Amino acid sequence: MVLSVQLRGSIFLVVTVCLLVVGICAPFSGHDLQRVMQIAIGFCAVLYGSSITPTEPWVDRQTAWGLALIVGLGLASSLLAHQPLWALTEMALFVSSAAIALAFASLRRYGGEPLDRVLLLIVVLLCLIKTLQYLYAGVLAFASGGHTMNPDLLLSSFSNKRFYGQFQTFTLPLLALPLLLPTVSRSLRGMAFALLCAWWLIAISGGTRGTWLGMAVAGMVVALIGPWGRRWLGWQLAGMLSGLWIYWLLFTVLATYLGIDTSNDASDRLTTSLSGRGPIWWQGWHMLTERPWLGFGPMHFADIANKVAAHPHQAVLQWASEWGVPSTLCVAFLAARSGWATIVVLRERAQFSERADLLRLCLFAALVGALTQSMVDGVLVMPTSQVWLALVVGWLMALHPWRTPVTASWPLAWRAWKLLSALAIALLVFVALRDVPHIKQAQRQYLDTLGSYLQPRFWAQGVIAR
């Protein structure tokens, strides 16, 4: 039985890695392909999750009842929404993300510590491919003989550089793990630091202020946890300063020597402007005050057309305006409760240098950075970010030790969850099969009649207002 579970987990992992490589690294990738990738991963996660029977519950009763309340409130909000099908589709994304998190948690629980190495290798592989793509594009740009250069054009596979920055917010903390492990050789440590510097170079070049803010808050939080947190912060600062120095050499010294003018310089992003967020924040606030109890319905910020975006670029405001204030308070309570439980474990094991303890620290830093960035960006909206958020949460769940004696699982609750996750992924597959064949035509029609650029939400053209 254990072997068969491990085999199914290996298949799920291989398929997921292949989908991540295509969605994140393929030059032709973008928002719509990444959404399809997310649905495919969710489908695999539901299949894998339904094939195993947990011997103990993943969450305690208070958390389980809180999640059930969120689902119930979301269902009521969806049924009362202007477009119930789209609202239920957003709910299905929430459920499928939870299914992905549980699949990764189960994978780590049954696979044990060797899978921590696999996770690190996956992160290194993805970041290495993206770094090579960036350097190759940079070489071509410098050798082209042009008089101007836009560093934004060196970024690939993401329809917006902020989405690229969200991916970096999840992976920058994990790239520091080899630098913390005492058993890593000096040569491997040097290569790991070189990759970290290159990844910071891309983060600086991309100019995503949400990534900078998220990493700054994550650094301050983990530095208070213990000596390993401060060491993690030290490596990140060294990587950031090295990346900044390389950026200056490339885009100032070398560009000036070759007579190339640089547009969209990273220094131009060092502002306190809201970048158009003011109007959409006001829209979210008005929606919240108009319907505080159940909101307008999941995804229904996109049902009120505006000239800026199909989501408010602020996680709390988005959830409150669409799902309602009671659901938002429940989510905030569960997030704070889970975060505090993780901090307690990190503080208790602050002096330990086992791989699992150091990985827990890096995962927690990634989670803090991503949640911070979600206060100013669409981390809870973009497909790649949703997958990585589920991965980080699921791995942290698997690493978390139970404080109480292990109890038996809840068979009825598990069967209800399997039914709910199956219905959710079935709805997502239905929406994908319905929309993907006509998605380019719908985008052209929108651009020709309603807007000058696409506003991503579920699809790259995310406005659902009729």
If we measure between CA atoms, which residue out of 195, 229, 221 comes closest to residue 370?
A: 221
Tokens standing for residue 274? 């809201």
Cα distance from N-terminal residue to C-terminal residue, the chain: 52
| 163 HSE (CA, 13 A, CB side) | 25
Q: What is the enclosing helix (H) or strand (E) of 430? A: helix 411-435
Continuous segment of H or E residues that includes residue 66 = helix 61-79
- For 182, the token pair is 């005492």
Instruction: Check residue 1 and give its pLDDT.
Output: 45
For residue 440, what pLDDT is reported?
93
Q: What are phi and psi of 149, to 5 degrees?
A: -140, 135
CB atoms near residue 71 (< 10 Å): 18
pLDDT at residue number 66: 95
Of 452, 313, 306, 294, nearest to 382 (Cα)? 313
* 8 A C-beta contact, residue 163 and residue 385: yes
Token pair listed for 277: 């967020």
Q: Rounded CA gap, 413 and 16, in Å?
A: 27
Q: What are phi and psi of 438, to 5 degrees?
A: -115, 15
Please report the pLDDT score of residue 267 as a whole number: 78
Q: What burial letters (b/e) apply to 342-359, b meaning 16+ CB within 10 Å?
A: bbebbeebeeeeebebbb
CB 175 within 8 A of CB 196: yes
In angstroms, the CA 299 to CA 295 distance is 10
Give the chain's length: 466
3-class SS of residue 209: helix
The two structure tokens encoding residue 352: 């330990």
The answer to whether 192 and 178 have CB atoms below 8 angstroms apart is yes
Distance CA 376, CA 211 (A): 10
DSSP secondary structure, 143-187, as one string? HT--SEE-GGGG--S-SSHHHHHHHHHHHHHHHTHHHH-TTS-HH
Task: Flag whether the pTM goes above 0.85.
Answer: yes
Fill in the DSSP letter of residue 261: E
Query: Per-block average pLDDT, block size 10, for the chain (466 residues)?
Result: 72 94 93 97 94 79 92 97 97 97 93 93 97 95 87 90 95 97 92 97 93 96 95 97 96 91 81 84 96 97 92 96 97 96 93 92 98 96 97 95 62 88 97 95 88 90 88
Whether 175 contacts 192, CB under 8 Å: yes
Cα torsion through 295, 296, 302, 304, rounded to 10 = -120
CB < 8 Å & 24+ apart, contacts of 57-60:
57/407, 57/409, 57/410, 57/413, 58/102, 58/105, 58/397, 60/404
Burial class (CB in 10 A: 0-12, 13-18, 19+), 228: buried
- In this predicted structure, what is the pLDDT of residue 408? 56
Contact 448, 428 (CB under 8 A): no
297 close to 89: Cβ distance less than 8 angstroms: no
User: Across-strand partners of 261?
Assistant: 148
Closest CA relative to residue 326, chosen from 140, 71, 19, 59? 71
> Radius of gyration of the chain from Cα atoms?
22
User: Distance of CA 380 to CAs 163, 217, 312, 371, 374, Å?
Assistant: 11, 18, 11, 9, 7
Helix (H, G, I), strand (E, B) or coil at 32: helix
- Asked if residues 260 and 142 have their Cβ atoms less than 8 Å apart, the reply is yes
Residue 409 burial by Cβ neighbours in a 10 Å radius (0-12, 13-18, 19+): middle
